[in-house]
Structure 1
């Protein structure tokens, strides 16, 4: 039922995008109910059929096997009919969409087509408790997606002029695009691998499929046969035939690397570096805007690439969770690179689509017949990082934190009264409620520096816990916002994240900007904690699992954070302090400095816990992290700022007591050492009870 629910939500998202509901014109509902035109446009017709096709397939393959089959099929059809009608009726209130009663008919056509295809592909064998054979269904799905990528919109024509126009790029121009040829070669190679997995000889079957593709390019509307397709597909065909004689394992491995390289090339070409890249944070927005045919072709190609890559990795004995995580990281790196390319837009859609495909394949693997599957990934129960002690250990940790909070409030009171502290720090405390502000700020300190330890514990469990980093980062930032919003004046928050300019209700814009900024610390602090405590993580792969989960979230959050904090900032208070007026390199260097400070604090904390060896080396690591953090801050901040009729560096602005008394080089070094020492001390004070609580039940000595 989970996969049916996800498909249902995606259908609603695609039908009601962009969600700009407004009051319709008078008589709009009546016009919708009385419009019996069956045909609008070929693209709209095919789009509505394709929208409900996956629901029909999933309803048969993943639906409950209980009860009478006829009743279940009738229930699915009734649900699809009502659901489609409700979505079309809702489009009456969407000025950007065109509601049509005929679309309900085409939705039902897609539903029936999907159900029929599911019956053909996954027909139950007598007495079997499993609805289909996943080992044969997935390669067949790869073949179907490959054909859809090449032959959409699947509308043939008998126009002789169209045939001649389709052959012109091959006979008259003969231009070859390396990226397109590589993609065609990779697709053909993967199709040959799918035929091999189905027990078919690629020489005849793949040759026939290629002939079908070439003929389809000529007879299907809006398609052409060019040199890139011809040469690329022939190269892929020849390579598949050669490697099929070597062995199946080599064939699948070569198909994976060829498709991965081709996907990377086509995603980054034309490679024209330029500043001012853009990022689209609305899922599937580019596919739902503009031509439905273009969006459907792009979606089919993405589904083919991701499904094929995950399937090929499974054929090489890699678990679906690890395969998905690795490809999501690579996809995020590609999207991040696109932000620096001329005419390209980074999009959050591709990583989300990869996660959905990986999840769907894992569900298919669980529902398929395990006796017939060639690869069964062992599923182990997630283990907690450590056994959480109870009784005196837990009370000791809570008592230590309570004492630490009291000490921090007292220290904060003294600090905010000192003339040596920068004025912008002293302004953080409400004059009318200083103790309440200080208490909330100390709670913010504990939450900010302590929660990454819990994130590390969660990520170290492996399996699907690897995907928990993004929601944990959002939770980290949300509670931090609540504490900060309650503790300091709004002007102080606006000085950092900017004033609201989008006219959103309440504080939603400021919350979003703060979450984007705070996520940089969450990502960096978690990285430092993982690396510092890698020997504490259980099992041989505990550290690897935690780092992999961190990498997935980091690749998702860093582009979004940079886009919001720097590119669409509503204040220059941060951007002007960064080198290169907010360059990507400066942004990453500042994140590296945060990770270095987090690493140094965690190392110092662990060195103080009884039973942990390697304290001498830990001291060296802490000092090295401080030097690395300073170097990263120095390179990542602006050295010459002209403002307030003065010339100063970013470090002078940040570390000087006020604008009238700018610190010199020697004083800056002393102030940095003092600030770094205070941060390390704060991390130790916050994390010591938590780390000691974590390792209290481990009897043998542990090296830091």
Structure 2
């Protein structure tokens, strides 16, 4: 009796990482902005909302939200029993459980119909993954060379920077108000264009050089389309034409840099990352208020004031620090890496000078990010693969 072979361990591990990420995103997207109350609404309000088509926009949101979860679930497990068990637990915890938790959120409406649309989205994702499983495995087979997982981390940071707070909407009124500045444009901001172009350039180069995609150009185009779609569909702040244009130009620049080769690309990413890092320090990019204070506690405004709006600037800083570390390691453990460390120390000193000279708030955020990312950059650094010699065969002559 022939049995279907289990997916390679590398592909299953990647799928389970996606499964964990989608689980986190579903929890985050369903409970944001986390304004819980002590007393819940009655359970009857959840059971009474059973009309599947009462709110079409909300129905589509709940359907689409669980499609990637179903795809990751299908790809994570080889056995049908494990998939069905995962689907049942997912629907119970992420479907029913989150809807019950929404009874404590005044900004959310718990609905039994949402659970039904969650189940439909998960089933659609599993069926879709089953049909395109071979194509997905072929695309994820990767290039013949080494894999650079730290670059994947930088891509995730870039997506967080561009897509916060990650909650798209189909509300036409909100989308119209969000997109209005891009059509009826305020004055063109060159700094905004360069800022988004630099970040996208690093991310584009990371996608191309990570080595996980068999067709990295196609992956770059799809990722760019997804981020542009989220820029439009997530009504946070105002949509600006400089942002959209900067993303496109930056991804093209990242594709060009990646084509120059590993060391040459790293040599050009190094000054780009340095410019991004200096931009965050020499300007009030993080929205520092006046007061001339310096604290040794990083992310002080984020922790003390619950200002989630500072997450994108912090992600921009993390992308700059990560790109600086990556380029230093790629260029070697000698002068390049030493210069990167000196730059990070210098950036910390600039924070102090900014407080003393300009009277902006300063902290150790940049140094904390470096301490967090440096072990990841070192641990995820790719090593050249050794060719396995078949027994009984002599090594090839030079």
TM bucket, shorter chain? 0.5 to 0.7
> Aligned pair in 2 of structure 1 residues 71, 125: CA closer, same or farther (>3 Å)?
same
> Aligned pair in 2 of structure 1 residues 163, 10: CA closer, same or farther (>3 Å)?
closer
TM-score normalised by L of structure 2: 0.52
Question: Aligned to 1:173, what secondary structure does the other structure show?
Answer: coil
**Residue number in structure 2 paired with 1:91:** 102
Question: Are residue 168 (structure 1) and residue 178 (structure 2) matched?
Answer: no
Q: Structure 1: how far apart are the matches of 2:47 and 2:106?
A: 17
Q: Structure 2: how far apart are the matches of 1:12 and 1:250?
A: 41
Query: Could you give the per-residue CA deviations for residues 285-328 of structure 1, whole angstroms, max 9, x where no partner exists?
Result: 554xxxxxx79x94996799499759956983999xxx9xx99x
Q: Structure 2: how far apart are the matches of 1:186 and 1:82?
A: 39
Query: Could you give the per-residue CA deviations for residues 508-533 of structure 1, whole angstroms, max 9, x where no partner exists?
Result: xxxxxxxxxxxxxxxxxxxxxxxxxx
Find 1:79's aligned residue among 64, 75, 89: 89
Q: Structure 1: how far apart are the matches of 2:51 and 2:282?
A: 43
> Aligned pair in 2 of structure 1 residues 30, 8: CA closer, same or farther (>3 Å)?
same
Q: Is the 8 A contact 1:274 1:342 kept in 2?
A: yes
Q: Is the 8 A contact 2:48 2:111 kept in 1?
A: no
Q: Structure 1: how far apart are the matches of 2:20 and 2:88?
A: 16
TM-score normalised by L of structure 1: 0.34
Q: Is the 8 A contact 1:157 1:219 kept in 2?
A: no
Q: CA deviation at 1:90?
A: 3.0
Structure 2: which 5+ runs fail to align?
A: 1-12, 387-398
Question: Are residue 32 (structure 1) and residue 46 (structure 2) matched?
Answer: yes
**Residue number in structure 1 paired with 2:200:** 187
Find 2:269's aligned residue among 247, 252, 255: 255
Query: Could you give the per-residue CA deviations for residues 152-193 of structure 1, whole angstroms, max 9, x where no partner exists?
Result: 738697999997752333xx6223225x52332231343144
Question: Aligned to 1:177, what secondary structure does the other structure show?
Answer: helix
Q: CA deviation at 1:337?
A: 5.5
Q: CA deviation at 1:47?
A: 8.5
Q: Structure 1: how far apart are the matches of 2:126 and 2:235?
A: 27
Write the mapping of 1:5-44 to structure 2, written as runs, cut at 5 A.
18=34, 20=36, 22-25=38-41, 28-37=42-51
Find 2:241's aligned residue among 216, 220, 226: 226
Write the mapping of 1:406-445 to structure 2, written as runs, cut at 5 A.
none
**Residue number in structure 2 paired with 1:104:** 115
Question: Aligned to 1:74, what secondary structure does the other structure show?
Answer: helix
Question: Aligned to 1:22, what secondary structure does the other structure show?
Answer: coil
Q: CA deviation at 1:35?
A: 0.9
Structure ID, larger Rg: 1
Structure 1: which 5+ runs fail to align?
A: 288-293, 366-372, 379-704
**Structure with more relative contact order (C-alpha pairs < 8 Å, separation 6 or more):** 2
Question: Are residue 270 (structure 1) and residue 280 (structure 2) matched?
Answer: no
Question: Aligned-residue CA RMSD in angstroms?
Answer: 6.4
Q: CA deviation at 1:95?
A: 5.1
Q: Is the 8 A contact 1:163 1:219 kept in 2?
A: no
Q: Structure 2: how far apart are the matches of 1:193 and 1:185?
A: 12
Q: Structure 1: how far apart are the matches of 2:199 and 2:280?
A: 11
Q: CA deviation at 1:86?
A: 1.8
> Aligned pair in 2 of structure 1 residues 13, 239: CA closer, same or farther (>3 Å)?
closer
> Aligned pair in 2 of structure 1 residues 98, 218: CA closer, same or farther (>3 Å)?
closer
> Aligned pair in 2 of structure 1 residues 12, 174: CA closer, same or farther (>3 Å)?
closer
Query: Could you give the per-residue CA deviations for residues 534-566 of structure 1, whole angstroms, max 9, x where no partner exists?
Result: xxxxxxxxxxxxxxxxxxxxxxxxxxxxxxxxx
